[in-house]
Amino acid sequence: MRVAIDYTTAIWPGAGVARYTTQLVAALAEADAINQYTLLYGGSSDLPHNTESWTMAERLFATHANFRPRPIPGPLKLALRWQRFAPRLLPAEVFSGKVDIFHAPDFVAPATRARLIITVHDLSFLVMPECAEEGLRRYLTATLPRCAHHADLILADSQATRRDIISYLGIGEERVWVVYCGADARFRPINLSDAERAALLLRVGLPASPFVLAVSRLEPRKNFVRLIEAFGQLVAAGYPHNLAFSGRKGWLYEPIFAAAERVNAQHGQRVFFLDHVSDADLPALYSNCAAFAYPSLYEGFGLPPLEAMACGSPVLVSNTSSLPEVVGDAAVQVSPTDTDAIADGLRRILDDQQLANTLRQRGPQQAAKFTWEKAAAGVLAAYGEVISDKQR
User: pLDDT over 70 for what percent of the chain?
Assistant: 91
In a 13 Å sphere around the CA of 140, the CA atoms on its Cβ side amount to: 19
390: CB partners within 8 A, 6+ apart? 115
pLDDT of 315 > 90? The answer is: yes
The DSSP bridge partners found for residue 68 are 38
- DSSP letters spanning 109-156: ----SSEEEEEE---HHHHSGGGS-HHHHHHHHHHHHHHHHH-SEEEE
Cβ contacts of residue 107 below 8 Å, gap of 6+?
Answer: 118, 119, 120, 121, 140, 144, 147
Backbone angles phi, psi at 302, to 5 degrees: 105, 70
Q: What is the mean pLDDT of residues 63-85?
A: 74
DSSP symbols for 229-288: HHHHHHHHTT---EEEEE--B-SS-HHHHHHHHHHHHHHSS-EEE-S---TTTHHHHHHT
Predicted local confidence at residue 89, as pLDDT: 59
Average pLDDT of the residues of the chain: 91
Query: Residue 14 — very low, low, confident or very high, per pLDDT cuts 50/70/90?
Result: low
Cα 169 to its chain centre, rounded Å, is 22
pLDDT at residue 80 in the model: 60
- Given a cut of 90, whether residue 143 has pLDDT beyond it is no
389, pLDDT greater than 80: no
72-81, 291-300, 332-341: least confidently modelled range: 72-81
Higher-confidence residue of 140 and 46: namely: 140
Query: Residue 58's pLDDT band (boundaries 50, 70, 90)?
Result: confident
**In this predicted structure, what is the pLDDT of residue 278?**
87
Kindly tell me if the per-residue pLDDT of 50 is higher than 60: no
CATH of domain 194-367: 3.40.50.2000
What digits encode the pLDDT tens for the residues 268-281? 999 999 977 888 99
Query: What number is the average pLDDT over the span 165-191?
Result: 96
Residues in the chain: 392
Angle, CA of 48, 51 and 55, to the nearest 5°: 110
Q: Taking residues 94-117, what's their average pLDDT?
A: 91
Res 99 pLDDT > 70: yes
Residue 308 has pLDDT above 70, yes or no: yes
Residue 13: predicted pLDDT: 61
pLDDT at 236 over 70: yes
pLDDT surpassing 80 at residue 49: no
Is the distance from CB of 71 to CB of 6 less than 8 angstroms? no
Cα separation, 287 vs 256, whole angstroms: 25
**Domains 2-182+371-391 and 194-367 in one fold:** yes
The full set of domain ranges for the chain reads 2-182+371-391, 194-367
The more confidently predicted of residues 243 and 44 is 243
Look at residue 81 in the predicted model and tell me its pLDDT: 58
Q: What is the pLDDT of residues 145-161, one digit of tens each?
A: 999 999 999 999 999 99
Residues 338-352: what's their mean pLDDT? 98
What residue type is assigned to position 219 of the chain?
E
Instruction: Please indicate whether residue 73 or residue 215 has the higher confidence score (pLDDT).
Output: 215
Q: In what order do the strands lie in the sheet with 67-71?
A: 67-71, 36-41, 2-6, 101-104, 115-120, 153-156, 176-178
Asked if residue 142 has pLDDT above 60, the reply is: yes
- Judge whether 331 and 295 are in contact, CB under 8 Å: no
In terms of phi and psi (left: phi > 0; alpha: psi -120 to 50; beta: otherwise), the region of 46 is alpha
Question: Which class would CATH give 2-182+371-391?
Answer: alpha beta
Q: With CA atoms as reference, report the closest residue to 320 among 307, 339, 333.
A: 333
- pLDDT-based confidence at 132, cuts 50/70/90? confident
